[in-house]
Structure 1
Amino acid sequence: MGVGIGVPICIECGTHSNPCRCKVVGPTLGFLAFAVAAVVEWPVGALVFCFRHHKGRRIMAHPATVVYPSVSNAVPI
């Protein structure tokens, strides 16, 4: 038997951006964009953190504070 890799699906309910009050596509794309950005930015942020703590923290926080919300909010469904 093989082990399958599932696709992450994120659901956000209680939103006012569409009549259904639930979003699936935006949060899912936001999570995938977050994961791609994190793979690149977290190692860079960790290296920068060794020399400039504040700048390294900002780099490592960028996927969660900027990438995910902007992609998630760009898609209303």
Structure 2
Amino acid sequence: MLARVPCCVECGTTQNPCRCKVVGPTIGFLAFVVAAVIEWPLGALVYPFRHIKGRRIMSHPVSVVYTRVNHCFPI
């Protein structure tokens, strides 16, 4: 059985002449998964005591990690 590597494609971008990105979104997704494995349980522990802080911790992989990594790669 073959292991499948996630491949994300973003079309319509203006960061390169091809108007298509593959590397940035794929590495961004992998970085998102690593950050989410760490931050979601931590956010769930904080949430009962500090609701807004817990929500901010759980949204960090999407709002910060994925977008920063995605924009680092023009292709």
State the TM bucket, normalised to the shorter chain: over 0.9
Instruction: Give the gaps of 5 or more residues in structure 1.
Output: none
Q: C-alpha root-mean-square deviation of aligned residues, in Å?
A: 0.6
TM norm structure 2: 0.97
CA distance in 2, matches of 1:56, 1:29: 26
Give the aligned partner of residue 3 of structure 2.
Answer: 5
CA shift, 1:4, in A, is 2.8
TM norm structure 1: 0.95
| Aligned counterpart for 1:47 among listed residues 45, 48, 52 | 45
Runs of 4+ in structure 1 displaced over 3 angstroms? none
Number of equivalent positions: 75
CA shift, 1:20, in A, is 0.2
Instruction: Give the gaps of 5 or more residues in structure 2.
Output: none
